[in-house]
Chains A and B, each alone.
Chain A
Amino acid sequence: MKSKQKKQSTNKNMIAPGHKACAGCGQMIAAKAVANALGEDVIIANATGCLEVTTTPYPQSSWRMPWIHSLFENASAISSGIRATLDYKIKHAKTKKEKQKLENIKVVAQGGDGATFDIGFGLISGMWERKENIIYICYNNEAYSNTGIQASGATPWGANTTTSPAGSGSSIDAIGSHQRKKDMLALALAHGLNYVAQTTAGHPQDIANKIKKAKQTKGPSYIQILSPCIPGWKIKSNQSIKVAKLAAKTGLYPVLEYENAKLTNVMKVEDNPLKVDEYLKIQGRFKHLFKNKRGRKQIKYIQSIADENIKKLEIGK
């Protein structure tokens, strides 16, 4: 099944308007920053999820670059195959110019946190192990948004999702999510990636800079972008940028990058960093934590995660 792209208009937006994402969708803000920074010389493999569903209602497509969606869990392996094709063509290029042109093409795989942390993780590990020259981008909205906000391996402590619902019971289940959030950055670093970065939808310029660095990196790179989801986080559609920024400012979700396994850049937090309450209280998914003693205990625990980040990364000055 192939569909026609909308005609390239004069502006440089690589994702055409008219997509079906919720107003204010953090993932869409991030994806636009990514696509525009990638430019035209790119082939994208996209996992199933909100970004895919909202941009490609057959026979239309928002993508102004070559783009393929196969399945939920295999964007990485699809991109490996695309990479192998380009590698083959580069080796067999007839002229220098043709070779150069092929070498300029970047292969990108992207998906949500569910596609990345959970169901597609094994295939991502395989791709990284092969050291293929592919940029992988994870739009982390901390849940399976497309199927109705179920918990994923990226869902944070205490978050209310439809499969980790806050409840009135006495067991730990009642607090919402209580699984350890998978540390994908550490896993990426453990695979020996030369470029690993984390940023948020509230920092589009930083996204663009990081994409540019990943483009220059030889071998695999990983960029994880915290992407607030309007219904998932239960926020207003004008709050996604603000919430994303708060995640960084409280130290809960530091904006940083590792080059050749070394932490080279990290965004500092203020002298008296904002407390996580400021981040949590504007999101409906954490509302239940403010209602009772046990909830407040969870907030304390979440604060300790932020404090530890600030200490470990030395971002508090």
Chain B
Amino acid sequence: MQILEGSRAIAYTIKNISPEVISAYPITPQTHIVEDLAQFKADDKADYEYVLAESEFAAASIIAGASSAGSRVYSATSSQGLLLMSEVLFNIAGMRLPIIITCANRGVSAPITIWNDHQDAVTIRDAGWIMFFAENHQESVQQHILAYKIAEKLNLPVMINIDGYILTHSYEPVFIPNASKIKKFLLKKADTNTKLLDPQKPITMGAFASPNYYMEIRQKLHQDIMTSAEVIKNEYEKYIKIFQPKNRDHNNKYKSFDNGLIEYYGPPEPQTILIAKGSVVGTIKEMVDNYKKVGVIKVKVYRPFPEEEIKNIIKKVKNVAVLDKSISLGQEGPLALDVKALKATYELKSKIQGFVVGLGGRDITQKMIKDIISLSQKQSSKNIFICK
């Protein structure tokens, strides 16, 4: 255990994962991660190629090229940078490249903001990436290691989301698994089945698909993302056995249920459930302790959407409040929409309401959580912005 800044914890983890090519472009609040990684290289503590990109678009393309030639790769970005990457992100998934990037989540301009929300990540949720969201430093370390295992096993890209500033710039005690243990946990090159560019065995990647082929290729990508949920659960179990006997809990009023896709914290028979992702779940857990019948679901994996898990927990619950740090402008919070879709599919009786919170770094206070709990038990209306 060491007390580390969130960014540094990630940088150490990445160093221990031993990528071969890193490329990045600076943007607040991602900067500390990529600065640390450059420093490790400069100090001979790491041997990856560190390619200075002239934009995030280039950084994403550079790691795509490196991955297509067989490298384990890494990049990190935020907000405008993620949006600038977006064309490449779709392409990476379609090409089935096992690429990992960290998104230090930040709101999107305009107005320009450097502070946290989830608008950047949710905007590219349809790109074909597995998307993790971390609550705290330890979980982000865990998710980065898991990400490489899952990506290289399934040839799917994985994005780990961590709340900008709240996690990137804060200090917490955290345990970083060492390089040799990580190596044992991850796949050996020989055990991956990624096809790669090699003059010995020439292949063509990124061919042009006519309507006769395109749809099945996309369907396969979707199916593989859906079935990745099982792999994530299995790998999570293995991870916990090897590295981390128990997740760091803020206290122990309730015992958490955690399968890698979601965590449930709260009483066994709640009347009200809050659903959220990322660091705000820490605040919610503290609130939950003050109630008898309120629990919280933390969505750890946003894509593939953990439909079964969430449905099973909320099906007997009266009130469900979904917190989004983002909004599909002109509709409502994207996570709220996902949860509401379950109501129709499974004919749930629960009342599900969406709340938009914490945009552009707005603090989410205990009072707000309290208000959300009581609102969810009362009225029913769309697009509730909880600003104060």
The yes or no verdict on A and B being binding partners is: yes
Residues of A at the B interface (CB closer than 8 Å) are 1-5, 40-43, 45, 52-53, 56-61, 63-71, 73-74, 77-88, 91-92, 105, 122-123, 125-126, 129-130
Residues of chain A with a CB closer than 8 A to B88's CB? 70-71, 74
B193 to chain A, nearest CB (A): 11
Query: Do A58 and B65 touch across chains, with their CB atoms under 8 A apart?
Result: no
Residues of B at the A interface (CB closer than 8 Å) are 20-21, 23, 47-49, 51-55, 57-58, 61-71, 73, 87-88, 91, 94-96, 195, 197-199, 201-210, 213, 217
Residues of chain B with a CB closer than 8 A to A105's CB? 199
Bound-state CA distance A226–B126 (Å) is 40
Query: Do B61 and A70 touch across chains, with their CB atoms under 8 A apart?
Result: yes
Bound-state CA distance A91–B46 (Å) is 13
Residues of chain B with a CB closer than 8 A to A57's CB? 207-208, 210
Bound-state CA distance A23–B96 (Å) is 34
Residues of chain B with a CB closer than 8 A to A74's CB? 57-58, 61, 64, 88
Q: How many A-B contacts if CB must be within 8 Å? A: 176
Q: Which B residue's beta carbon lies closest to that of A43?
A: B197
Bound-state CA distance A60–B23 (Å) is 32
Query: Do B69 and A1 touch across chains, with their CB atoms under 8 A apart?
Result: no
Query: Do A85 and B54 touch across chains, with their CB atoms under 8 A apart?
Result: no
What 7 new A-B contacts, CB under 8 Å, besides A1-B209, A3-B204, A77-B65?
Answer: A60-B207, A67-B205, A70-B64, A79-B65, A81-B62, A91-B47, A123-B57
Bound-state CA distance A60–B213 (Å) is 12
Bound-state CA distance A65–B58 (Å) is 24
Q: Which B residue's beta carbon lies closest to that of A53?
A: B208
B368 to chain A, nearest CB (A): 42
Query: Do B209 and A58 touch across chains, with their CB atoms under 8 A apart?
Result: yes
Bound-state CA distance A60–B204 (Å) is 9
Known: A1-B94, A70-B88, A71-B91. A40 touches B199 (CB 8 A): yes
Residues of chain B with a CB closer than 8 A to A81's CB? 21, 23, 51, 61-69, 71, 73
Bound-state CA distance A130–B198 (Å) is 23
Residues of chain B with a CB closer than 8 A to A85's CB? 20-21, 49, 65-66, 69-71
Bound-state CA distance A1–B97 (Å) is 10
Q: Select which of B21, B47, B91, B202 is within 8 A of A84 by beta carbon.
A: B21
Residues of chain A with a CB closer than 8 A to B57's CB? 73-74, 77, 123
Bound-state CA distance A61–B23 (Å) is 30
Query: Do B207 and A80 touch across chains, with their CB atoms under 8 A apart?
Result: no
Query: Do A88 and B58 touch across chains, with their CB atoms under 8 A apart?
Result: no
Q: Which A residue's beta carbon lies closest to that of B21?
A: A84
| 29 pairs of residues in contact across A and B, judged by CB atoms under 8 Å | A1-B95, A1-B96, A1-B206, A1-B209, A2-B205, A41-B199, A43-B69, A43-B199, A45-B65, A56-B207, A57-B207, A59-B207, A61-B207, A64-B202, A66-B197, A68-B204, A70-B61, A74-B58, A74-B61, A74-B64, A77-B53, A77-B65, A80-B23, A80-B65, A81-B51, A88-B21, A88-B49, A123-B55, A125-B54
Query: Do A77 and B62 touch across chains, with their CB atoms under 8 A apart?
Result: yes
Bound-state CA distance A57–B57 (Å) is 26
Residues of chain A with a CB closer than 8 A to B195's CB? 2
Query: Do A5 and B202 touch across chains, with their CB atoms under 8 A apart?
Result: yes
Query: Do B208 and A52 touch across chains, with their CB atoms under 8 A apart?
Result: yes
Q: Which A residue's beta carbon lies closest to that of B206?
A: A69
Residues of chain A with a CB closer than 8 A to B199's CB? 40-43, 65-66, 105
Q: Which B residue's beta carbon lies closest to that of A5?
A: B202
Bound-state CA distance A140–B64 (Å) is 26
B61, B63, B71, B73 — most chain A CB neighbours (10 Å): B61
Q: Which A residue's beta carbon lies closest to that of B197?
A: A66
Query: Do A70 and B206 touch across chains, with their CB atoms under 8 A apart?
Result: yes
Q: Select which of B62, B73, B203 is within 8 A of A5 by beta carbon.
A: B203
A37 to chain B, nearest CB (A): 15
Query: Do A59 and B87 touch across chains, with their CB atoms under 8 A apart?
Result: no
Query: Do B49 and A129 touch across chains, with their CB atoms under 8 A apart?
Result: no
Q: Select which of B52, B70, B201, B205 is within 8 A of A1 by beta carbon.
A: B205
A134 to chain B, nearest CB (A): 10
